[in-house]
Amino acid sequence: MPKRSSRKSSPSPRKKRSATAKKTAAKKTTAKKSARKKTSARRPAKKTASGKRPASFLKGYGRLLFLFGALVLAAYYLYLDVMIRNQFEGKRWALPATVYARPLELYVGKKLSVQQLLREIKLSGYRPVLEAKSVGTFSLHGNTFELVSRAFQYGDSFEVSRQLRIRIEQGQVLAIDDRNTGEPVDIMRLEPAVIGRIYPAHHEDRQLVRLQEVPKTLTRGLIALEDRAFYQHHGLDPRALARALWADLRAGKLVQGGSTLTQQLVKNFFLSNQRSLWRKFNEANMALLLEWHYDKDDILEAYLNEIYLGQDGKRAIHGFGLASHYYFDRPLAELRLKEIATLIALVRGPSYYDARRHPQRLLKRRNLVLSIMAKQRIISAQEANSAARQPLGVVRRPHNIAGLYPAFMDLMRRQLRRDYRQEDLTAEGLRIFSTLDPAIQQQVEQAADKWINRLDAQRGLAGKLQTAVVLSDTSNGEVLALLGDRNPNYAGFNRALDASRPVGSLIKPAVYLSALEKGYNLASMIEDTPLTLKGPDDSRWSPRNYDGQSHGSVPLVTALIRSYNQATVRLGMSLGFEAIADTLHRLGVKQAIPAYPSMLLGAVNLSPYDVSGMYQTLAANGFNSPLRTVREVLAADGRALKRFPVTVKQAFSAEKIEMMNRALNAVTHVGTARSLQKLLPADLEIAGKTGTTNDLRDSWFAGYSGSHLAVVWLGRDDNQPLGLSGAGGALKLWAEFMRRIDTRPLPLFELPSLEYEWINFLNGRLSAEDCESVLYLPFPPGQAPSERAECLDSGMMDDDF
């Protein structure tokens, strides 16, 4: 017998009450029953003991044997009773948690193409039809979608089913109307796509349905086919049994079951294929006990959710709710007659009537089901005939959500583990509203597919180039997309979270931000000259610049945007490791920061996810918002259990971050990431930083627009060189998806508390807009340079790191 959880959960308050009430009632009755048994067992013994002719066999061993037998019988029933009640009350509701993507918000003016909306609608499980009349269908004519939405319970409200019309024009939503009232709709949510379930170890899957939401034709048809006397019998149906026995005898083998629905339910509780008399005997007794404790509708509902209806690889398909999705890719309430009949047909033997391997057998049985339903007047003969003429309509490949977005699901599970136990996630039927944006995730996956293959081939890396991407919403820290392997469906090592690699120059903004906090400004002159530092073990370290040159006296901003190593180390040494470690921690980095000079050039191991946390603070104006994957969690009955709201904590002043953002924006115009200008639309302003580690082993790019932050890492698992710099690798992949998603430019507005000047970034002097080599930079009041520069030609741009 498979060991199963006997946890009791509460799908609805009503259920729980009735279940507990029954449980206590059951306890009493069981007690009574065993008491009754004992007395009845004693009575004949007493009689014989006081009888005139005391039989010797009853006086001696016989009596003992009899008593012993009665006790064994009582114990047997008690054992069955406990077991069956545990199964019924516990396992019946062991539901995996359902994970949803973010719901798509639709409103007039929203940027969205016809293709994008089409994809979202399909992801949400809508069926294309010519005219959208029934729930869960949609039509598309030209640029106009018509659909009938499903009622849906969100954490904040219950939304009813509506008939809607959505018009798209030139890549944005032009109008949304309610087709019934003709009224315009200001805002609506498309029900979120289910992107995953969290299964218990034994891979049983189900989708709970309540009796009242199951189509009547299904329950009546099921009873007609499997157990006509269901509402009359007490768990066993002797007449059906006799009929089956007669049929078996005539055929000379087992051809007919004769089991009641209750017996079938018991059999499903303890799945075993053995067909022994002893098992039959046990099942019959448990069926009687079940009927004694619970009413018919409870048993029927449990049956509908428990019955085994197919196998999808390792996953067992239990219950009509899940079977409906598995075979027809649709919720049970939306099934048509022919599909309902098919599911009823499958009850008899999901593998013998396998829908995909033996469609002819199943079709024959389905039509038999239809004709019996017609005979029993559940449907009309005409309905039966017309349904019987139609094909099975089983979807070729079920919309298999298992294994989608493994990297994101991994991160989400880790975050949920802080608040929930594993058993709660796999048994309580929780509904988890995640932050994943499937449209953005798709763009990231496609961009990775394109660039990883291309770069891998270019560099002759023989398939060893690996990648990780973290993409988040800068305003609230929601993780919208995550990639942990070049194959987005690979569920193993999650590089986004677990590949801790040297970050190289990505660390430099922390050094320069520390400098700004210590009174430097963007035009402060710093020295980019050779230096040698002594390590604790007397080793010597002489950092070099990527271009092999030293640049002498340079403005602070130039050292950052051109990623000069010598200037950075000199600056960092003057600020002290403590100050820089403090800045890193305030940015959101949790790891301990080593206090040695190479740390200043990124000899700090961080995962792409850690780097995202750090840049998130820069992207959000100096406000720290932890990265989140879950918005809220609902109980199975729709009660809101927990929200994970946006939280903010100011870690840096708006002025310091504004200076940093301007500098990082300059990186994408005249610095190491200037190749972005060719790869992105001209008006999409970005702030970002490239990162490259020793011998070109890691290629990083971290960059943000006005609404999205993305960190991309490329490297090899064996840590061998790639031959790719940050700009030559990660940046290309980054630009590929960023130009495809709907993102806003980095806003470049002027803070009233700062002064803005055109500065020549080669010498740090005042200049003018129309001169070469100039940047428009903010300064704290009174700190802008006063010396004016000549209009000069642009400087060397040969470094690309």
Partner 1 sequence: MLRQTRFLFLLPALLLFACSFTPEQPVSKTKEETGLIQIRPSTSSRPAVLKLLEKARRAAKAGQFDVAEAQLERALRIEPRNATLWHYMARLRLEQGRMEQAAGLAARSNSFEHDDASLQANNWRIIAHARYQQGDIEAANAAQARADALAAD
Using CB under 8 A, pick the residue from 623, 700, 704, 737 that binds partner 1.
623
- Separation of alpha carbons 523 and 691, rounded Å: 23
- Separation of alpha carbons 120 and 613, rounded Å: 29
For residue 774, the SS3 value is strand
Residues 254-273 that bind partner 1 (CB under 8 A): none
> What is the full DSSP assignment across 75-114?
HHHHHHHHHHHHHHHTGGG-BPEEEE-PPEEEETT-B--H
**Active-site pick, 149, 324, 472, 505:** 505
Nearer to partner 1, 332 or 619 (CB): 619
CB of 506 to partner 1, least distance (A): 24
- Separation of alpha carbons 315 and 196, rounded Å: 13
- Separation of alpha carbons 137 and 135, rounded Å: 6
Cβ neighbour number for residue 387 with a 10 Å cutoff: 22
CB of 623 to partner 1, least distance (A): 5
If you ran DSSP here, which 8-state letter would residue 332 be given? G
Nearer to partner 1, 121 or 651 (CB): 651
Nearer to partner 1, 186 or 769 (CB): 186
- Separation of alpha carbons 796 and 103, rounded Å: 49
Tell me: does residue 531 bind partner 1 (CB under 8 A). no
What are the two backbone dihedrals, phi and then psi, of residue 35, each rounded to the nearest 5 degrees? -65, -45
CB of 684 to partner 1, least distance (A): 15
In this structure, the strands spanning 431-434 and 97-100 are parallel
Using CB under 8 A, pick the residue from 476, 549, 591, 598 that binds partner 1.
476
For residue 140, the SS3 value is strand
Comparing C-alpha atoms, which of 323, 289, 283 is closest to residue 306? Answer: 323
CB of 628 to partner 1, least distance (A): 11
Q: Which amino acid is at 320?
A: F
- Both tokens of 776, joined, read 């428009």
Cβ neighbour number for residue 196 with a 10 Å cutoff: 24
| Total of residues contacting partner 1 (CB under 8 A) | 33
Active site residue 40: no
Sign of the torsion angle spanned by Cα atoms 188, 190, 195, 197: positive
CB of 190 to partner 1, least distance (A): 13
Instruction: Return the range that interacts with partner 1 (CB under 8 A); candidates 160-168, 277-285, 424-432, 641-649.
Output: 641-649
- Separation of alpha carbons 474 and 620, rounded Å: 6
Active site residue 226: yes
Tell me: does residue 635 bind partner 1 (CB under 8 A). no
Cβ neighbour number for residue 186 with a 10 Å cutoff: 8
CB of 99 to partner 1, least distance (A): 18
Residues 779-798 that bind partner 1 (CB under 8 A): none
Residues 73-132 that bind partner 1 (CB under 8 A): 105, 107-110
Nearest-Å Rg of the Cα atoms of the chain is 35
Nearer to partner 1, 110 or 267 (CB): 110
- Separation of alpha carbons 321 and 326, rounded Å: 9
Instruction: Return the range that interacts with partner 1 (CB under 8 A); candidates 368-376, 645-653, 673-681, 713-721.
Output: 645-653
Residues 148-167 that bind partner 1 (CB under 8 A): 154-157
Nearer to partner 1, 34 or 476 (CB): 476
Tell me: does residue 626 bind partner 1 (CB under 8 A). no
Instruction: Return the range that interacts with partner 1 (CB under 8 A); candidates 50-58, 193-201, 404-412, 615-623.
Output: 615-623
Q: What are the strands of the beta sheet with 194-198, ordered from one edge?
A: 194-198, 97-100, 431-434, 630-634, 640-643
Nearer to partner 1, 581 or 738 (CB): 738
**Active-site pick, 89, 120, 226, 306:** 226
Residues 732-751 that bind partner 1 (CB under 8 A): 747, 749
Q: Which amino acid is at 548?
A: G
Nearer to partner 1, 154 or 405 (CB): 154
Residues 698-717 that bind partner 1 (CB under 8 A): 706-707
Tell me: does residue 632 bind partner 1 (CB under 8 A). yes
Known catalytic residues are 226, 505
Q: Rule CB under 8 A: which residues touch partner 1?
A: 105, 107-110, 154-157, 186-187, 473-476, 621-623, 631-632, 640, 643, 645-650, 654, 706-707, 747, 749
